[in-house]
Chain A
Amino acid sequence: MDGIHDLGGMAGFGPVEVEPAEPVFHGEWERAVFRVNIAVIMAGLHNGGRFRHSIERMDPGHYLSSPYYEHWLTGIATLLVERAGVTLDELEQRAGGGFPLSRPDRGCARDDIAERTEPRFEAGSRVRVREWHSLGHTRAPRYVQGKRGVVVRHDGAFSVPDVEAHSDEKVEQPTYSVRFEARELWGDGAGDREVVHIDLWECYLEEDA
């Protein structure tokens, strides 16, 4: 989805704030969220795609105004409500107050994503990223959709996140690292001698004839 998490190229954020000698966790609650996530993974309650998408569906204002591990907590709580029979009332009762969750899953994967392990492209292939603007989960950021690039590397086949995030099925497709000139992405505003490589599943790509 073209959600708040899809940040590549967005303007207006200002300087990157670096915390010197940052600890792994800021306080016990961050460690506790990490611990909860390990437990949920061990219980088999989420996979990578489902977890990422549970965070992407957060209210945009909540996403931008909350610390990183609150994203994890909100996503995990949402998945527990959606998939493990936990109710929001139970969570709010236990927490003693409001417990914001993510918005509903509106997604469905494109229905033309079929299992495929043999790569269609190779290093040097010219490709264009298909424009899809999925309402569900995808790992094709909006800043590369519709853009033209060149494959620099094939990395083997992996589970397509667009499918994995919305069903219990796994469909594998080849992935590639694709090189884009900054000018292709940002037009006349691009910096000189800057290029961006991004890793994309084959179903995101079409031949650039």
Chain B
Amino acid sequence: MTTSARPHDDHDHVAHGHHPAPLAPIEARVAAIESVLADRGLLDRAAVDAVVAHFENDLGPLNGARVVARAWVDPDYKLRLLADGTAAIGELGFGGPEGDHMVVVENTAEVHNLVVCTLCSCYPWPTLGLPPTWYKSPAYRARAVREPRVLLAEMGTTVPPEVEIRVWDSSAEVRYLVLPERPRDTEGLSEDDLASRVTRDSMIGVERL
């Protein structure tokens, strides 16, 4: 195996902080990168815009809510979902990047699950869409593993002291989805109505329904 260690060079032109020039505004820096890519023939605008539109329009927590609602009304589906999340989520038509290896963790009267990515921003795109800013914030990433019960209480979710909190730090290839407990007052609701009760935050684990 080859490795590519490079000696550290204190005068490396790449390093931050060596520039007397005032910082270019973020919009100008983005435009600079776009023009560099376009000039080198690396920006296929139509293809790229189609991907971006897919993320903005097709992906989002409504997909995850449909998975949860199905699990609430169909015990066999729930078993399949907990045994092989990727395949069961695929049954409803959801899959793709950041959703190729899904594990679904079930909240119960004894266990509350909470998902985080302490190292970056890993998140199940096909079922929840792109993550909210708070999920990617240093405060959430630092504290979710260190003091989850205190953090959840601050965010408005009280987890009783007798309930075990299981934090899942998605640090490799698996992405996690929390299966919240079905609220007690939902007897007789249709699957669609149940799905409308499922929130994004409950599928991350920062909310209990």
Q: Are A91 and B162 in contact, with the CB atoms below 8 A?
A: no
Q: Are A167 and B6 in contact, CB atoms less than 8 angstroms apart? A: no
In the complex, the answer to whether B30 meets A36 with C-beta atoms within 8 Å is yes
B23: chain A residues at CB < 8 Å are 97-100
A143 at the interface (CB under 8 A from B): yes
How far apart sit A39 and B47, CA to CA, in the bound complex (Å)? 9
Instruction: Please tell me if the beta carbons of A96 and B28 are within 8 angstroms of each other in the complex.
Output: yes
| CB within 8 Å for A101 and B173 given contacts A52-B120, A96-B28, A111-B3 | no
B7-42: CB near A (< 8 Å → 1, else 0) gives 011001111110101111111111111111100101
Interchain CA distance A52-B171 in the complex, whole Å: 12
Given contacts A104-B15, A197-B167, is CB(A95)–CB(B29) below 8 Å?
A: yes
Do A104 and B9 have beta carbons less than 8 Å apart?
Answer: yes
Q: How far is the CA of A85 from the CA of B55 in the complex (A)?
A: 30
Q: Are A105 and B150 in contact (CB under 8 A)?
A: no
Range for the number of chain B residues in contact with chain A: 35 or more
A170 CB to closest chain B CB (Å) equals 10
Contact across chains for B6 and A193 when beta carbons are under 8 A apart:
no
Q: B209 near A: Cβ within 8 Å?
A: no
Given A104-B15, A106-B8, A108-B3, check contact A11 B163 (CB 8 Å): no
How many A residues face the partner with a CB closer than 8 A?
101
In the complex, are the beta carbons of B139 and A14 less than 8 A apart?
A: yes
Q: Interface segment, B67-75, B127-135, B185-193? A: B127-135
Contacts A143-B145, A167-B1; A7 near B138 (Cβ below 8 A)? yes
- Which of the listed residues B44, B162, B165 has the most CB atoms from chain A within 10 Å of its own CB? B165
Indicate whether B76 reaches chain A with its CB closer than 8 angstroms.
Answer: no
A184 within 8 A of B: no
Selected A-B contacts with CB under 8 Å, 11 pairs = A7-B141, A10-B142, A18-B134, A36-B34, A64-B138, A76-B33, A92-B24, A98-B23, A104-B9, A104-B15, A197-B169
Measured CB to CB, the residues of B under 8 A from A are: 1-6, 8-9, 12-17, 19, 21-37, 40, 42-44, 47-49, 51-52, 55-56, 101, 103, 118-121, 129-130, 132-134, 136-143, 145-151, 154-155, 161-174
A interface, CB within 8 angstroms of B = 5-11, 13-19, 22, 24-26, 28-29, 31-36, 38-40, 42-43, 45, 52, 55, 58-59, 62, 64, 67-68, 70, 73, 76-78, 80-82, 84, 86, 88, 90-92, 94-109, 111, 113-114, 139-141, 143, 153, 155-156, 158, 163, 166-167, 169, 171, 175, 177, 185-186, 191-201
In order of increasing CB-CB distance, the 6 nearest A-B pairs are: A97-B24, A8-B118, A199-B172, A108-B5, A95-B24, A94-B32
